[in-house]
Amino acid sequence: MKTQPNFLRLYFNYKLALLALAFITLTACSNKEKSEPKDAEDIPVSREMIAELTAPPHVPTPVGRRKAKKLIVDMEILEEEGEMTNGVSYVYWTFGGSVPGSFIRTRVGDEVEFHLKNHPDNKLPHNIDLHAVNGPGGGAESSFVAPGHEKVFSFKVLNPGLYVYHCATAPVGMHIANGMYGLILVEPEGGLPLVDKEYYLMQGDFYTKGAHGERGLQAFDMQKAIDEKADYVVFNGKVGALTGDNAITANVGETVRLFLGNGGPNLVSSFHVIGEIFDKVHVEGGDLINTNVQTTLIPAGGAAIVEFKVEVPGTFIMVDHSIFRAFNKGALGMLKVEGEENKKIYSGELRDDIYLPEGGGIQTMPEGDNVVQEAPLQSLEEQLERGKQAYMQTCFACHQSEGQGIPSAFPPLANSDYLNADVDRAIGVVLNGLTGEITVNGETYNSVMTRQSLSPSEVANVLTYVYNSWGNSKKVITTAMVEKVRNQK
């Protein structure tokens, strides 16, 4: 009979414990509701802060764990002439003086006070549509600004992600096509995980009255834009903006984060880094993360964040993998990585063997009596015609139809100081190939040209065609000159 009171006492204590736990839980939830707003719009801001704005490829300092601020963004619109590629200039319309425009970095809960100024020397009114804004026109309706004026509007940053901004003044496509786009990053509370290097890249397609490479100041061509026939597809506003001395850099073992945008106005980007795999891709700049990705699609007016670790040194080529855009229209950049090699990951070249010693791929020239003798040429015109045929079959892909080459990849043959300075050297390059760094017309190239399967007369023909085209020295190359160089040991 003594066990019953003990049982009742245990049951009573159990009930008291449950009530106490419920009270604690309700109190904690109540306090949490008071201290942590349910919606981003209710996050309070503390003090004002001038936004750090950066030109590409640089990005502002990460937000880290800072509290939400009243963030003052001061941006000026500038219409100014710049270089599209060597000898080709263009009047860009810019946010902040660069294409793409200044990078804006915020965090969820920030209240952004945006000051948009249109420089008095500009010719046209402009505005701004930020895809991160919840409001009419993404801010465009509140920001239409004439030259010499300033518009101010504000918005609350609600959704984390990477967003495009662009001009939305009619004709909208024309304003975007002239370079009026950029990126605004909204970091989550607590910020993004830290990485070693961060860079800002944005693709755009440009449409000019002149053909690709036509020199001089080029105007915008509306019909080409409507037909989506881009003359240039580039990263960061111009051909070569991210090559040579302008290449982005990292060290072996570092993690790289690229904030990628596509201003368009028309073309989708298939972004790829040759020799790397993306460990993480924030698809379209949002919360969805894909892993182990080779190439990621970025729609016109869209964005993505990619992250990867660089394991070995070298120059890694960044491209739009719609590949003719990269090697023929300019959508090519470089990431230069320095550090110790890791042979476990990448060995480098082990051997250079001959594969199938017969056939068109053989990498040795015919010798002695086995050389097939072509019929004697009757005239310079006949030699030039045969040389042009050989050029289009052998040289065209790398050096292009007008000898302009491919920027940062293959040197030009047109007006080439390297070519015109030494005829024997030029013959030797065609006969033996060329590997390593050379300087042509003041630009440095470091690519590979393999030995060509051409007879001595074909070498003479093609070089005569090149020397007599595109402003070169008009030298005539004979088979005897080629034989002389070939026989030099």
Phi, psi of 337 (to 5 degrees): -115, 130
Q: Are 235 and 332 in contact (CB under 8 A)?
A: yes
Whether residue 175 is annotated as binding a ligand: the answer is yes
Whether residue 398 is annotated as binding a ligand: the answer is no
- Identify each DSSP E strand in 350-433 by its residue range: none
Whether residue 119 is annotated as binding a ligand: the answer is no
Q: Are 225 and 174 in contact (CB under 8 A)?
A: yes
Q: CA gyration radius for the chain?
A: 31
Q: What is the 3-state secondary structure (H, E, C) of 169-192?
A: CCCHHHHHHCCCEEEEEEECCCCC
Q: In terms of Cα–Cα distance, which of 198, 177, 174 is closest to 187?
A: 198
Q: In terms of Cα–Cα distance, which of 190, 123, 110, 188 is closest to 155?
A: 110
Q: What residue type is 399 in one-letter code?
A: H
Segments in 256-415 forming alpha helices (H): 323-324, 380-394, 396-399
Cα–Cα dist 187/157, whole Å: 10
Cα–Cα dist 20/325, whole Å: 68
Whether residue 180 is annotated as binding a ligand: the answer is yes
Q: Are 313 and 339 in contact (CB under 8 A)?
A: yes
Whether residue 365 is annotated as binding a ligand: the answer is no
70-85/88-95 β-pairing: antiparallel
Whether residue 126 is annotated as binding a ligand: the answer is yes
Dihedral angle over CA of 224, 226, 228, 232, nearest 10: 50
Q: Provide DSSP, 191-203.
A: -PPP-SEEEEEEE
Maximum CA extent, the chain = 131
Q: Are 236 and 58 in contact (CB under 8 A)?
A: no
Cα–Cα dist 434/445, whole Å: 11
Q: What residue type is 204 in one-letter code?
A: G
Q: Are 413 and 464 in contact (CB under 8 A)?
A: no
Determine whether 234 is exposed, middle or buried from the number of CB atoms within 10 Å of its CB (0-12, 13-18, 19+).
buried
CA 59 to chain centre: 15
The token duo for 81 is: 């002439």
Whether residue 282 is annotated as binding a ligand: the answer is no
The token duo for 467 is: 């020397």
Cα–Cα dist 110/368, whole Å: 79
- The binding site for Cu cation consists of 126, 131, 166-167, 175, 180, 321
- The binding site consists of 126, 131, 166-167, 175, 180, 321
